[in-house]
């Protein structure tokens, strides 16, 4: 096929992700699509993938993506006439210790929350399903009957045929050599066979995706890692419909193939390939067999299935797979180039993800925004830190090594740390801070009392920091605490049209006088919440915007991409220009008054205002607001003066017993007050009205804003879901999120976040209660509620109002 000179959309890469994306663009959207493959379809990593297809993930949206893959693979052959090799064998996951068994009981609850049927089995059940297995060390297993396996090459070829049937052009042996850019957008794809003018580009180049991205100035943080598995000769007594097996405590997996077994694993000492460019000729090549490195898997596999000791190895596959620093794949619009989309970095589950990833990515390409809450895989979750190739390598190898380890709650990565520290890092260490990491920033999670271990000790129950965090929590409620929140992302929007730009992007009214703050969401066209942040008006034409640490790249790109091209408005990221100290608690004003000549009384400095005040010889941007439900200020300090301001506050606060407080106490405090967290309680799937934030949407005005039409439709119809607070009567229950909510014995939703409230002395969660006919106060009040936690029911109460209110910010005024 000759190379066309123009296409609406060019997809780069002919593996399963590229072919699935082309298929869905052509089938669902009738798009003019050209797919370019530098070798042959399935080359790269698709052809040598093991082909296990699992569905359950910790995100409801990602689970939906994987479930779609299974549904597609079941029916694709009927559409295209090419078999996919799909077999719904089900999957057994084995548990050999109590922590793993608790993890599985929690996973079974998550599965129920997401509408999936996961069973917990005894060792005897496992033996009957897989007679060749040694089960003497098992506590039990989970069983997901709808999981299975497929042939990666067959699925890809079937998707390719389907794409062609719907009008897509798939061209092999064409290598992309660069892009012609105009004002930050791609206007032509350059190849070794000629150029193609286009409107949008989708980078599905697999292990070459980083190099393809670099041609357009974008970063795709991938690391190729060597991944090995073997295919055995026939094993006597192995059933053709044997379930796939994941044996995480032995770090291995198995599936039946032509009477033998495919067996591989995820070792704790993985081998990276290259941090340089992947050679273009590595399309159907493998590494040499490395039995020495693979021996650790063979020993564990033979202990599990003794029959393997007596069969030959037909073939060893040792090929590179693209892994990412957090173990999640990469989708979405590149922040550096508004018309390049990425689908790459699938961490060896590209076959499981391929059908669904192509489906959502195609919709994303057409609409310009994600069709679901795909934050867990959004490329805009990364930052400039992820351009550091050594950092990406180190973190990716750690993530690979954790693939089959127990997923303890609140577990932190350890590699590549510390990467970014605030000026208070050493001071807080002297206060025995135990740090966590967020987008590279070291942040104090909690402070260890003298005589205790200043480290996290992970467990599936209450962890070692529980009491210490409770003390920090109560200190903020009763006295005054200081939080180092310097990692907050901070932007300035300036220009004569800055207010006009924000008025369109923000759901709340930001056209307030100079000196006022606005808490606001930014909505997508579906009325879902894309950003959740604070806007301070500094002057008529200059605004200060503060958002969460992890959302720095995402929120900046969202605002920038929705500023009208004809407007005079410039967005600048100034995160590193300011440190942020949050002074919170009933004595916050007493402390602040001692370090400034400015009047910080309520009349001079009301809630929801921003003032410049002097502290320790420095001009500080003080924002009066709270995320903990107490009197307080965020103090945004020029970065070089952060230490001096902290010291001044600590000295002035001595009579009031001031102390530094960590993020785990912050989480507990916000749960009691009912403040929402973006990415969990509020997402692009959720409307402000469903989340109880309708008061922050300016529908009473005649102002047009992004998402207004969808917001009006939601407001004017019965709400099919509502966010509520939920407490469990048994105070020893550990809530983490994704626990199933039962109303009158029937599942009606699941928790989006969970924790413990030390003031109310109760586990607290938040979650959406769903009912197709509407959820009003009467519906909520008439139900009898339970939470399913680790597969056990517990009596629960639903709360519409915040649990903690007697001494909130406004009353304290």
**pLDDT digits 0-9 by tens, 194-239:** 999 999 999 999 999 999 999 999 999 999 999 999 999 999 999 9
pLDDT of residue 55: 85
Specify the length of the chain in residues.
Answer: 813
pLDDT of residue 806: 55
Whether pLDDT at 807 is above 60: no
pLDDT of residue 46: 73
pLDDT of residue 64: 94
Closest CA to 110 of 803, 789, 802: 789
The average pLDDT across 774-796 equals 97
The average pLDDT across 697-712 equals 96
Whether pLDDT at 671 is above 60: yes
Whether pLDDT at 808 is above 70: no
Contact 260, 232 (CB under 8 A): yes
pLDDT of residue 813: 29
| The CATH number fitting domain 6-84+150-220+326-381, selected from 3.30.505.50, 3.50.50.60, 3.65.10.10, 3.40.640.10 | 3.50.50.60
- What DSSP designation does 181 have? E
pTM (2 decimals)?
0.96
3-state helix, strand, coil split of the chain in percent (to 5) is: 30, 30, 40
Give me the residue spans of the domains in the chain: 6-84+150-220+326-381, 91-147+224-319, 718-813
Contact 147, 53 (CB under 8 A): yes
Identify the band that residue 49 occupies on the pLDDT scale cut at 50, 70 and 90: confident
- In tens, the pLDDT along 480-489 reads 999 999 999 9
Whether pLDDT at 788 is above 70: yes
The average pLDDT across 236-255 equals 95
Angle at Cα 198 formed by Cα 192 and Cα 199, nearest 5°? 150
Rg (CA), the chain: 27
* Spatial separation of the C-alpha atoms in residues 24 and 95, rounded to whole Å: 38
- What DSSP designation does 4 have? P
Whether pLDDT at 507 is above 80: yes
Neighbour-count burial for 86-115, b at 16+ CB within 10 Å, e otherwise: bbbbbbbbbbbeebbbbbbbbbbbbbbbbe
Closest CA to 25 of 359, 289, 280, 292: 359
- In tens, the pLDDT along 621-637 reads 999 999 999 999 999 99
For the domain made up of 718-813, the CATH class stated in words is mainly beta
Distances (CA, A) of 362 to 202, 453, 702: 9, 50, 34
Give percent of the chain with pLDDT exceeding 70. Answer: 99
- Least confident range of 348-352, 756-760, 808-812: 808-812
Whether pLDDT at 85 is above 90: no
The angle, 0 to 180 degrees and rounded to 10, between the axes of the packed helices 350-367 and 60-80 is 100
Contact 117, 66 (CB under 8 A): no
* Spatial separation of the C-alpha atoms in residues 274 and 759, rounded to whole Å: 52
Return the HEC string of 467-528: HHHHHHHHHHHHCCEEEECCCCEEEEEECCCHHHHHHHHECCCCCCCCCEEEEEEEECCCCC
Classify strands 433-438 and 441-447 as parallel, antiparallel or unpaired.
Answer: antiparallel
| CB within 8 Å of 196: residues ≥ 6 apart | 3, 4, 5, 6, 7, 10, 34, 188, 189
Contact 369, 390 (CB under 8 A): no
Q: What is the mean pLDDT of the chain?
A: 95
pLDDT of residue 810: 36
User: Omega before 418 cis (within 30°)?
Assistant: yes
Whether pLDDT at 811 is above 60: no
Q: CATH number of the domain at 91-147+224-319, please? A: 3.30.9.10
Instruction: Enumerate the H helices of 15-59 as residue ranges.
Output: 16-29
The average pLDDT across 335-341 equals 96
- Give, for 610, the enclosing helix (H) or strand (E): strand 610-615
Contact 337, 203 (CB under 8 A): no
Whether pLDDT at 141 is above 80: yes
- Give, for 320, the enclosing helix (H) or strand (E): strand 313-323
* Spatial separation of the C-alpha atoms in residues 766 and 750, rounded to whole Å: 8
Whether pLDDT at 805 is above 60: yes
- Give, for 709, the enclosing helix (H) or strand (E): helix 708-716
Closest CA to 513 of 534, 499, 492: 499
Residue 751 pairs in a beta bridge with 767
pLDDT of residue 592: 98
CB atoms within 10 A of CB 208: 27
The average pLDDT across 545-572 equals 97
Neighbour-count burial for 443-461, b at 16+ CB within 10 Å, e otherwise: bbbbbbeeeeebebeeebe
Distance linking the first and last C-alpha atoms of the chain: 73
The average pLDDT across 764-768 equals 98
């Amino acid at each position: 096929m000759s190379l066309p000179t123009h296409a609406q959309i060019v997809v780069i890469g002919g593996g399963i992700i590229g072919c699935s994306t082309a298929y869905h663009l052509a089938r669902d959207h009738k798009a003019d699509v050209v797919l370019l493959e530098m070798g042959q379809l399935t080359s790269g990593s698709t052809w040598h993938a093991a082909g296990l297809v699992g569905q359950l993930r910790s995100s409801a949206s990602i689970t939906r993506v994987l479930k779609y893959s299974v549904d597609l693979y079941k029916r694709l052959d009927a559409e295209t006439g090419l078999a996919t090799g799909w077999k719904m064998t089900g999957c057994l996951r084995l548990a050999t210790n109590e922590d793993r068994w608790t993890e599985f009981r929690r996973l079974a609850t998550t599965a129920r929350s997401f509408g999936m049927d996961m069973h917990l089995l005894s060792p005897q059940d496992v033996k009957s399903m897989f007679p060749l297995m040694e089960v003497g060390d098992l506590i039990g297993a989970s069983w997901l009957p709808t999981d299975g396996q497929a042939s990666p090459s067959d699925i890809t070829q079937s998707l390719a045929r389907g794409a062609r049937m719907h009008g897509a052009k798939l061209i092999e042996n064409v290598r992309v050599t660069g892009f012609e850019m105009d004002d930050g957008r791609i206007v032509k794809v350059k190849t070794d066979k000629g150029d193609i003018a286009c409107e949008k580009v989708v980078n599905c180049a697999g292990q070459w995706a980083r190099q393809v991205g670099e041609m357009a100035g974008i970063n795709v943080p991938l690391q190729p890692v060597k991944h090995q598995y073997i295919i055995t000769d026939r094993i006597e007594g192995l059933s053709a419909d044997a379930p796939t097996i994941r044996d995480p405590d032995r770090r291995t997996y198995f599936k039946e193939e032509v009477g033998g077994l495919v067996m591989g694993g995820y070792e704790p000492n993985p081998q990276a390939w290259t941090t340089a460019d992947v050679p273009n000729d590595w399309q159907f090549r493998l590494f040499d067999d490395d039995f020495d490195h693979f021996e650790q898997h063979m020993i564990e596999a033979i202990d599990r299935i003794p029959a393997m000791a007596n069969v030959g190895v037909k073939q060893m596959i040792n090929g590179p797979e693209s892994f990412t620093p957090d173990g999640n794949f990469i989708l979405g619009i590149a922040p550096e180039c508004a018309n390049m989309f990425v689908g790459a970095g699938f961490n060896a589950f590209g076959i499981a993800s391929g059908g669904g990833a192509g489906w959502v990515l195609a919709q994303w390409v057409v609409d310009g925004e994600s069709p679901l809450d795909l934050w867990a895989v959004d490329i805009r979750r990364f930052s400039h830190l992820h351009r550091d190739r050594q950092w990406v390598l180190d973190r990716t190898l750690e993530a690979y090594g954790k693939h089959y380890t127990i997923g303890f709650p609140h577990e932190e990565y350890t590699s590549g740390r510390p990467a970014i520290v605030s000026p208070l890092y050493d001071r807080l260490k002297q206060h025995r801070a135990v740090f966590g990491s967020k987008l590279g920033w070291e942040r104090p999670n909690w402070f260890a009392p003298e005589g205790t271990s200043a480290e996290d000790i992970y467990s599936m129950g209450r962890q070692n920091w529980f009491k210490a965090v409770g003390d920090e929590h109560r200190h903020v409620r009763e006295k005054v605490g200081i939080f180092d929140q310097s990692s907050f992302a901070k932007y300035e929007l300036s220009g004569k049209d800055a207010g006009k730009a924000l008025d369109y992007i923000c759901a709340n009214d930001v056209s307030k006088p100079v000196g006022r703050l606005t808490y606001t969401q930014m909505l997508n066209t579906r009325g879902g919440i894309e950003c959740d942040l604070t806007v301070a008006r500094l002057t008529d034409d200059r605004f200060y915007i503060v958002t969460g640490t992890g959302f720095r790249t995402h929120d900046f790109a969202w605002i920038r991409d929705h500023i009208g091209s004809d407007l005079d408005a410039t967005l600048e990221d100034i995160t590193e220009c300011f440190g942020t100290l949050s002074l919170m608690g009933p004595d916050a004003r007493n402390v602040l008054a001692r370090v400034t000549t400015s009047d910080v009384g309520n009349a001079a400095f009301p809630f929801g205002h921003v003032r410049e005040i002097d502290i320790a010889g420095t001009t500080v941007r003080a924002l009066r607001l709270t995320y903990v439900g107490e009197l307080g200020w965020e103090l945004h300090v020029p970065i070089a003066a952060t230490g001096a301001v902290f010291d001044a506050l600590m000295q002035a606060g001595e009579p009031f017993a001031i102390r530094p407080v960590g993020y785990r106490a912050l989480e507990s405090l916000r749960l009691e007050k009912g403040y929402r967290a973006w990415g969990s309680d509020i997402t692009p799937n959720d409307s402000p009205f469903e989340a109880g934030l309708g008061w922050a949407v300016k529908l009473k005005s005649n102002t047009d804003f992004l998402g207004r039409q969808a917001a009006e439709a939601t407001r004017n119809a019965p709400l099919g879901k509502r966010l509520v607070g939920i407490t469990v009567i048994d105070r020893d229950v550990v809530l983490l999120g994704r626990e199933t909510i039962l109303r009158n014995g029937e599942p009606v939703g699941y928790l989006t976040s969970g924790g413990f409230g030390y003031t109310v002395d109760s586990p607290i969660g938040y979650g959406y209660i769903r009912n197709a006919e509407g959820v009003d106060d009467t519906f909520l009040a008439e139900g009898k509620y339970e939470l399913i936690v680790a597969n056990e029911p517990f009596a629960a109460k639903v709360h519409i109002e915040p649990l903690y209110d007697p001494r909130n910010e406004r009353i304290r005024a």
